[in-house]
Structure 1
Amino acid sequence: MYGRSPGLVFGFHATKAETAKALVETSGSAFKPSANNYDWLGHGMYFWENSPHRAERFARDRRIPNAVVIGAVLDLGHCLDLTDSESLSYLSTAYHALKATLEAAGEPLPNNTSPKFCCSHDLLIRELDCAVINFLHAQRRRDMKKKQQAYDSVRGVFWEGEDLYPGAGFKEKNHIQLCIRNPNCIKGFFYPRQQVPW
């Protein structure tokens, strides 16, 4: 009953200039979900919640040529919010169901791993998490007769990067990430503007 987000949020996305232009000019009809097997929150379109700076840093770290940061006004709709204990319990149940399904088929579970080219200990390649979240979505689609409403979005908090300072409980790349599955949750795209003095 409380799984629906009550308001609008801003999300930010870094992409090539031509893709940004297409998204802004078509109000999102150029929506193209990511469908990599390592996507942290499953398949969908990704945004940094309330952080154009983090989107910009992502573009720099990934060396995206001619990168532009765009903003989006988002209604998360029915959200699988992984800051909520009930949502986390659904994810845990989905993991055990996926594990049993793969074991019955003689298939191994995927793993979350750190990239070989990086010195970071962060699990940046999230094949297990992606598989579990996508499996949960598939379960809910199958169980719609049991009134299992599909999720429009997924929201997760991530602690990433080096310690912010010695002994810190914060990391340099902490962020909230949003994965939009239902394109109708995107109310519009915009180019962020700079704050003006007043």
Structure 2
Amino acid sequence: MPGIWSEYEFQPSFVLGFHGCDKSTAERLLRGEEPHLKWSEKKYDWLGHGIYFWEGNPGRALQWANHRQQEGKIADPFVLGAIIDLKHCLDLFDGDGLQQVADGHRELIETFKKIGTPPPKNLGPTPDKAGRFLDCAVINYLHTYRELRGELPYDTIRAPFLEGRPLYPRAGFRKHNHIQICVRETACLKGYFRPIAGACGSA
């Protein structure tokens, strides 16, 4: 399933990613007591399994951490910064990358038909509020499909996420639009850092 422009899937520069978490988790990484954040392997991870970051958006990471605190999942909201080398990136801003995901979906559906099992579904009232079970299955299947065919694995996935209410009536902009990065290869993470005071804005 390689794209015709696959040589351009290698990103030439670093990006800054931000991860919302409990302060104790971030401090362990910053002190070098743990090498990396843990992979997420939830069945609804919309970019498949890996380590998730908001690209260039510490404020959104803080909002997420604050929300997790309200849910009782973390005690002390914190934003951890990361220097990310995207390397071989499945970029879903790019038409060729999107076509690969579409092809992966087609292959996955055919596989489920052959075994007589219904595929997962995205569940929820709107795409940004859905449990993205199908999307997760498609991305994970794409990685497996490439591995079985001996194709070069993707190190990262990068995609826009359209989220929240319109900024104004009939707006094409939404309140919580952001870019997410899923890191699958920890060698892409060149270092973690503490964002400067005030960089996260208000929650």
Taking structure 2 as the reference length, what is the TM-score of the superposition?
Answer: 0.88
Does structure 2 retain, via aligned residues, the 8 Å contact 1:42–1:131?
yes
Determine whether 1:100 maps to 2:106.
no
Deviation, 1:65, is 2.2
What's 2:192 paired with? 189
User: Which residue, 69, 74, 83 being the options, matches 1:73?
Assistant: 83
Determine whether 1:135 maps to 2:141.
yes
User: Which residue, 42, 45, 50 being the options, matches 1:36?
Assistant: 42
What's 2:29 paired with? 23
Q: 1:154 to 1:121 in 2, by over 3 A?
A: closer
User: Which residue, 151, 166, 169 being the options, matches 2:169?
Assistant: 166
Deviation, 1:62, is 2.6
Q: 1:49 to 1:27 in 2, by over 3 A?
A: farther
What's 2:119 paired with? 109
Does structure 2 retain, via aligned residues, the 8 Å contact 1:162–1:172?
yes
User: Which residue, 7, 13, 22 being the options, matches 1:7?
Assistant: 13
Equivalent position SS for 2:36: coil
Deviation, 1:107, is 1.1
CA offset digits 1:24-78 (Å, max 9, x no partner): 2228613311000100100000000000001011112232321110100000110
Q: 1:27 to 1:92 in 2, by over 3 A?
A: farther
In structure 2, distance between residues paired with 1:45 and 1:124: 20
Does structure 1 retain, via aligned residues, the 8 Å contact 2:83–2:191?
yes
**Match of 2:124, as an amino acid?**
S
**Match of 1:38, as an amino acid?**
Y
Deviation, 1:182, is 0.1
In structure 1, distance between residues paired with 2:10 and 2:56: 19
In structure 2, distance between residues paired with 1:39 and 1:28: 23
User: Which residue, 90, 98, 115 being the options, matches 2:100?
Assistant: 90
- Give me the identity figure in percent: 43
Q: 1:27 to 1:12 in 2, by over 3 A?
A: farther
Taking structure 1 as the reference length, what is the TM-score of the superposition?
Answer: 0.90
Does structure 2 retain, via aligned residues, the 8 Å contact 1:48–1:55?
yes
Give the number of aligned pairs: 189
Equivalent position SS for 1:10: strand
Q: 1:166 to 1:133 in 2, by over 3 A?
A: same
Q: Which runs of 5+ in 2 are unaligned?
A: 1-6
What's 2:158 paired with? 155
Q: 1:191 to 1:36 in 2, by over 3 A?
A: same
Indicate the RMSD between aligned Cα atoms, in angstroms: 1.7
Does structure 1 retain, via aligned residues, the 8 Å contact 2:18–2:54?
yes
CA offset digits 1:165-195 (Å, max 9, x no partner): 1221111110000000000000000010036
Deviation, 1:15, is 0.6
